[in-house]
Every structure is written in structure tokens, then in C-alpha cells.
Structure 1
Amino acid sequence: MDAFRARTRARLSAAVVCSAALLAGCSAAAPSVTEHRATTERAAAPRAAGDLQDDYQRVIRDVLPSVVQIQARNDLGSGVVYDDQGHVVTNAHVVGNEKTFQVTTANSEDVLTARLVYAYPQQDLAVIKLDKVPDGVKAATMGDSSKVAVGQIVLAMGSPLGLSSSVTQGIVSATGRTVSEGGPGGGTGATIPNMVQTSAAINPGNSGGALVDLDGKVVGIPTLAAADPNMGGGAAPGIGFAIPASMVRTVADQIIEDGRVTDSGRAALGITGRTVVDDGYRAAGVAVVEVQRRGAADRAGIEPGDIITRFGRTDIGTITSLTEALAAEKPGDRVPVTYTRSGDEKTVDVTLGEQ
């Protein structure tokens, strides 16, 4: 996009120089300054549009060979070639419980086989590996998601509804979103922080594909679309979310090197909980069902049967609100947790563990 702006500024500068020359004494046959300026502006508009179109087509040519379609038994999704060894990063909910997959690349209808390396449902990411890396398949370039800006043009590439090698266009609508996924069929149930929100269409099958900037760098992995309760829970148009490239790199590098995630950076309270309601059937907190031995809650003295009502500065009504509050913290952070036990309210400081 910066290159596009630079080209636009250069054309505007050229227009100013030409106008100055007219004022300095061009021949009488030349058009007036006003006429010349209008003509220049009309000519610049289609050139600018053409430059943007060229950027789109260049990025698609460069990146689409890195985006694959993944068939996992009855489920279909997308993936991004991560390195020249044939590792492909995708969503954990795309691979599900499967261990082997059929993969189709953008440049060929030949079906390749792949196997699961590791799935990490807590961040809804997984890595699979092609059994054989064919010619024409290249690794994508991962971008710096910390530099993603609201209003930036992005392209989503994947296989929505089974339509392989599809591309949609939009902008970055927001950054830093914390999103809770649905359960089976709609995600892993994970609560994921720092997601990139985009207006580029995200449909079933886009999951695990590439969200790409105009420099041809992958800035996120499209994962889900917002659900609109007024549409029967269907996808809300123009509101999709992608896992940022920085987290993708963190998780994928650990899986490839160690075969699993060894340092997630995700805070954990160390409990199993469920939402409880009051006499009016309103969500009233999270009941602790089980406490992980030597976990954060156990070390702080929280016990099964306690009802958590506040975490840090956040009032807790549901298990979702608790997981979203946890997603904003890091392992090792010390957070006050308020809970009730046998009708008495207590507050303890909890040093968070790691998922």
C-alpha cells in the first residue's frame, strides 16, 4: 500500500510541475491552466485504479501457490504452506480428530497426502506435513502482525464452500479483538486474543487460509466469521476474524521443532468450571468443578464448589467472560480473584500459570 501511495504522490507532483510550466509561459496553443488541471485529474484516476488492480493481481500470483485446500474426511478447509519442508499451517478445527489428509494445491488438481504433526485447539492452530512436496508449491511469507493497521487493504485466500483458490477483498476493520469460538462444527471452543477483524468475506472452507496484505505477506489465518443471532446464528456479513501471523509463527515454530507447543504464552487459572445462575436464571458466576493439582488456583487456595464472581477488574458472570478475561493476561501475572464459599466472599491474589 505504501508503494501505491508513493506512486500516487509522484503523479501529483508531476501534475504540479506541468502546471508551473504553463504559468511560466507555454505557447498560446496550450490549454489554460484550469483545463490542463482537469485533464490531468481525469487521466490520473484510471491510472491509479489500474495500479491498484495490478497490486491485487501481483499479490494473488505470488501468494495463491502457497494456499492449499485440505480435505479431512467429511470436513473441508484451507491451509498455508509454511516452509519448503512441506509443513502446512491451518486451524485445529479444520483437522479435527483426523491424522491423515488429502491436499490440493492451487496449481494442480493432483491429490497429495499429508499427516498431522500436532494440533493445538487452545489457539485453534495445527500443523500438517505433506508426504511429498511437488514442484510449484512455495512457502508463504509471514508478515509482522504488530504493524497491521485499521483501514489497510487485505485479501482473503482459501477454499470457501469448496471453491478452491478463491480470493475476496476487504480492509482490516479492527485489531486486538478477543473472540470466543463455538464448539464442534464451528470451532474448538477456544477464546483467542488479539485477533484481526476484517471485512473480507470469510465463509466455511476459508478457515486456515491466508489473510494477505498488498506486500504479499500473510498477516493472519482466517478462522471464523461472526455469528448474527438475528439471522438464526448465521454468519454476519463483513465481520470475519483471523489469528495474527505473530501467534501463528510462535505456535508453528514450536510444533515443527518440538512436535508440540512448549510455550504458549496463554495464561491459565487451572480450574474446570461451569456457569451458574441465580434465582432469576441470570448468569451469576463460575462454579469451580475441578482444581488442577498444583495449578494457579490450587496454590491460591481456591477449591471445588467455590463460585468465582470477579477476576481482576472484570465481573464474572459466565465461563466465557472468565476465559476472555484470562486471555488478556500472561503466565506469571498476579491477579486478584474474588469468589464466594458457603455464602462468604473472599478475594485472593493468584499467580497465573500457563495453558
Structure 2
Amino acid sequence: MDASRIRTGRRGAVAVVLVCAAALAGCSDPAAPARKDEPRAALPRAADDLQDQYQKVIRDVLPSVVQIQAGQSLGSGVIYDDKGHIVTNAHVVGSEKTFRVTTARSEEPLTASLVYSYPEQDLAVIKLDKAPAGLRPAVFGGSDKVEVGQIVLAMGSPLGLSSSVTQGIVSATGRTVSEPGDDGGAGATIPNMVQTSAAINPGNSGGALVNLKGQVIGIPTLGAADPGMQGGAAPGIGFAIPASMVRTVADQIVAGGRVTDSGRAALGVTVRTVVDESYRPAGAAVVTVRRDGPAAKAGLEAGDVITRLGDSPVGTTTELAEVLAERKPGEKVAVTYERSGERHTAEVTLGEQ
């Protein structure tokens, strides 16, 4: 289902450099005698401790990760509370309203219904029609404490293989990633994503990215693609929605059945990419302007072509979405646009998506 979600979030390809393994080891002579002060006994003990920690986290968290069947597609989800709410990706539920959910303790799939899908952040909540006894909600950690280098485990149902676990580290934080849309256009643009080297494969979407304390720090959502491989997956580059955003969205859906406070900045327009005479992207053309929205109040009209937001150039609708994703509602920003061949600038107070 989410194989189509595998692509890069920012412009440009990633160069991969292969390094001689011997060079990393200092090209030492394997026949050289070991130094007497080397802590030989410490290494196996440390390895045993780490393995025990891995296994404890898996025992504690894996029962909170479920497999979701949405129509003919499979994805993953995380048990959010003991009432049967499950958080997952919006692209996992798609347009479906009912689902079959397999938990770690259910021999037969359970039925569930959609509570609300929020594609703008690629999150959704479904609810089991009858929550079984012993349901184990996951513990969500704080994304502000996620650091590069932390060991993490990705849990879900990659390629339909339920209760699968991969491991890696947090490779980066604060990534802004744009997903592809189902129609081949732009999908959701999500800020502050957690980048991980843990394998994220089709079916992992909606599962759990977990630290060694057993806390969910993110919801795995997509993997990157290598442009040099005709869209083939780029191993070791995956992205997860941070736990803080998951809680913000899921709490609102559970409490009120919808998202009323997204924290996402918006201009109040719909746009499409336009090209110049050389067929190169030249800006985001305004198709519609929401009445009394931020852009309308600043004087923008349908037909205007936005070319810059603040100091950031805008060549495509995706670039506009990425720049907006890094802003907050209520911020004032200069919007540069073209109208009838002339350049104009307007100050816009950003609204909320």
C-alpha cells in the first residue's frame, strides 16, 4: 500500500561513498597480539546487556502494535488507549471507513471503524468496535528529547509480516518531508520529522518507532527514494512523525472527533505549479482564494503567481508547502507574487490550516 509513499522529502539526491572496511578498523594486522590492558571480558557482558534491553523493549511494546487491513491493503497501527482507539497514518486508512485489526492477542481479526482522518498531517484514528480485555496502550515519549544517535526499533507489519522489528538509530531530527499524493501530485508536507536508519518498508506505515526506554517517539510514515535508481528505495533513510505531533492530533480526535487546532500555517489559497518558456517550474499559481482568508485580506487574487515567501524562493506547490510547514499561524510574512507580468509584495498574517 505505502510503496508509493517512498520518495525523498527535500530536493536533490544523496551521494553514497563506499569506504574500505579495513580503513575503518585502522588496517590493523589480525595476527598482531592483543594488548594486555584490553577489556576483553567487558565486551560480551555489554553485548548481553544490550540484547536483554532490546528483548525487554520488544516484549513490552510489540503487544501495542497492530496490523490494519483497509480494503485490500495492509498497514500498521499503535494502540492509543484502553478504550480501543488506534492511531495510524491517514494513507493507511485511505478512503475506507471500516477495518479488520489483528492484535498480538487476537486469534481472529477484530472489527474497527474510522473516527477521523487528518491527511494534512497524515494521521488518523480508528476505534475497535469492541475493545477486548487486556488491551495494552503504548507509552508515547516526548519528541523534544529525541537526539541523533539514539538507538531505535521500528515495529509493524512490513510487507504483511506482522509483529516485525527492525533496528537502527535516529539519523536526524527536524526534517520537513513532502509525501507524494495518490494522484501523482503533492501529498502532505510534514515538518519536524524524525529521520531513522531503521528499515521502513511498505506495511510499516502507522507502526511504532520506539526508544530503548520502551517509549514510542514517532509513527513510521515513509522511506526515501534514490533518484538514481528510478524511484527505488534508498536503504537506511526512513521518516517518522514525531510523538508530540501524534499526541496533539490524536488527543483532539479522541476528545472531539476532529482536529480543530492543527498548529499548521496556511495562506488560505489553493495553488498549482506553473512553468516558464523553458518548461522549468516558475511559481505557485493561485487557483482559488478563501474568502476572508489571510491571502484575501492581503489583496492576493486568483491568477497571481507566488514566487517567494519571506526569504525562500517558491518554484512549485511542494516548495510552498515546505516553507509554510516551517512557519506558525499568526506569523507575518512577505509574499512576493506576479500579476499581469508585474512583481508585487504583500505582508500576510498567516492563518491556520
Instruction: Give 2:23's aligned residue.
Output: none
Q: Partners in 2 of 1:197 and 1:46 — Cα distance?
A: 30
Aligned residue number for residue 268 of structure 2: 270
CA contact (8 A) 2:178 2:186 kept: no
What does residue 190 of structure 1 align with? 188
Secondary structure (helix, strand or coil) at the match of 1:150 reads coil
**Is the Cα contact below 8 Å between 2:267 and 2:350 reproduced in 1?**
yes
1: CA distance, partners of 2:219 / 2:180: 17
1:161 aligns with 159
The answer for the alignment partner of 1:58 in structure 2 is 56
Q: How does 1:25-64 map to 2 (within 5 A)?
A: 35=36, 37-38=37-38, 41-64=39-62
Q: Give 1:259's aligned residue.
A: 257
Separation of aligned partners in 2, 1:95 and 1:187: 19
Deviations 1:229-276 (A, max 9, x none): 222212211000000000000000000101100100000111111111
Residue aligning to 2:244: 246
Output aligned runs, 1:95-114, within 5 Å: 95-114=93-112
Q: 1:300 aligns with which of 275, 298, 301?
A: 298
1:188 shift after superposition: 7.9
Partner of 1:20: none
Match of 2:179 among 170, 178, 181: 181
CA contact (8 A) 2:298 2:348 kept: yes
Aligned amino acid, residue 230 of structure 1: G
The equivalent residue for 1:16 is none
| 2: CA distance, partners of 1:228 / 1:119 | 29
Provide, for residues 266-314 of structure 1, a one-character-per-residue CA deviation record: whole Å limited to 9, x for no partner: 0011111111111111111111111111111001000011111110110
Counterpart Cα distance in 2 of 1:127 and 1:216:
22
Number of residue-to-residue matches in the alignment: 319
State the TM-score, normalizing by the size of structure 2. 0.88
> In the alignment, residue 167 of structure 1 is paired with which amino acid?
V
Match of 2:214?
A: 216
1:172 deviates by 0.3
The CA deviation string for residues 41-97 of structure 1, in whole angstroms up to 9 with x for no partner, is 111100000000001000000000000000001111000000111100000000001
Q: 1:274 touches 1:287 (CA, 8 Å); kept in 2?
A: yes
In 2, distance between residues paired with 1:313 and 1:55?
A: 47
Computing the radius of gyration over CA atoms, which structure comes out larger, 1 or 2?
Answer: 1
Using the alignment, how far apart are the partners of 1:186 and 1:99 within structure 2?
A: 23
- In 1, the alpha carbon distance for the partners of 2:214 and 2:184 equals 29
2:168 corresponds to 1:170: yes
Answer yes or no: is the 8 Å Cα contact 1:93–1:187 preserved in 2. Answer: no
Q: By how many angstroms is 1:108 displaced?
A: 3.2
Match of 2:114 among 113, 116, 126: 116
Separation in structure 1 between the aligned mates of residue 46 and residue 324 of structure 2, nearest angstrom: 46
CA distance in 1, matches of 2:308, 2:247: 33
- Give the superposed CA RMSD: 1.4
CA distance, structure 2, for counterparts of residue 171 and residue 139 of structure 1: 24
For residue 348 of structure 1, what is the aligned residue in structure 2? 346
* Matched-pair contact (CA < 8 Å) for 2:208–2:216: yes
Is residue 2:278 matched to residue 1:280?
Answer: yes
For the 8 Å contact 1:181–1:187, the answer to whether it is kept is: no
CA shift digits 1:103-136 (9 cap, x unpaired): 0012333210000000000000000001122234
* Partners of 1:308 and 1:152 in 2: CA distance: 40
Runs of 4+ aligned structure 1 residues displaced above 3 Å come to 185-188
The answer (yes or no) to whether the contact 1:94–1:207 under 8 Å persists in 2 is yes
Tell me what 1:322 maps to.
320
Alpha-carbon distance in 2 for matches of 1:333, 1:215:
37
Counterpart code for 1:71: Q
Task: Report the TM-score, using the length of structure 1 for normalisation.
Answer: 0.88
In 2, the alpha carbon distance for the partners of 1:329 and 1:348 equals 17
- For 1:75-114, what aligned pairs fall within 5 Å after superposition? 75-114=73-112
Q: Aligned residue for 1:18?
A: none
Cα deviation for residue 187 of structure 1 reads 10
AA partner of residue 137 (structure 1): L
Tell me, yes or no, if the aligned pair for 1:81 and 1:87 is still in contact at 8 Å: yes
Q: Which has the higher helix share?
A: 1
Partner of 1:25 in structure 2? none
Unaligned runs of 5+ in 1: 1-33
SS in 1 for 2:40: helix
Whether 1:227 aligns to 2:225 is yes
SS of alignment partner, residue 208 of structure 1: coil
Letter paired with 1:348: A
Superposed displacement of residue 159, structure 1: 0.1
Question: Does the residue aligned with 2:272 lie in a helix, a strand or coil?
Answer: strand
In structure 2, relative to structure 1, the CA distance for the partners of 1:111 and 1:211 (3 Å cut) is: same
Contact 1:124–1:187 under 8 Å retained in 2: no
Alpha-carbon separation, structure 1, partners of 2:213 and 2:264: 30
